[in-house]
Homo-oligomer: A and B are copies of this chain.
């Protein structure tokens, strides 16, 4: 992946690029670490908190907010099982990543019935 003049070694992403990369890592981590977790309205609060605090451990991750949507969890539970498994359609997630001067806001929300992870803002400097 490097050519003769070593261009590859010299590559340095811009701060906004690195910040967006970091933001994506956190989202993928959160989703695939916790998807499948047994969840009920009674256990939703502790799961929200653990997800936030776990991902906030990762570098450049300033804040994570997870809302497990009790109404949707209830709808997903039937047969008296009393619980379901966490998927993207049962939660809303917002994150703030900081890298250098750059702040990135991301959000997971439903679009056409599908959970979509998206960049909400990328801002440099003190704005």
Task: Name A84's closest neighbour in chain B (CB-CB).
Answer: B57
- Write out the residue numbers on chain B whose beta carbons fall within 8 Å of the beta carbon of A119: 11, 13, 17-18, 21
Q: Specify which of B22, B27, B55 is in contact with A38 (CB 8 Å cutoff).
A: B55
Contact across chains for B82 and A57 when beta carbons are under 8 A apart:
yes
For the A-B complex with A17-B119, A26-B28 known, give 19 more contacts whose Cβ atoms are closer than 8 Å.
A13-B122, A18-B20, A20-B21, A21-B23, A21-B117, A23-B24, A24-B24, A25-B27, A28-B32, A29-B32, A31-B32, A32-B36, A38-B54, A38-B58, A46-B49, A46-B53, A49-B49, A50-B51, A59-B81
Q: Which residues of A contact B (CB under 8 A)?
A: 1, 8, 11, 13-14, 16-18, 20-33, 35-40, 42-43, 46-47, 49-59, 79, 81-83, 85, 87, 94, 105-107, 112-114, 117, 119-122
Most buried by B among A113, A114, A121: A121
- Write out the residue numbers on chain B whose beta carbons fall within 8 Å of the beta carbon of A43: 50, 53-54, 56-57
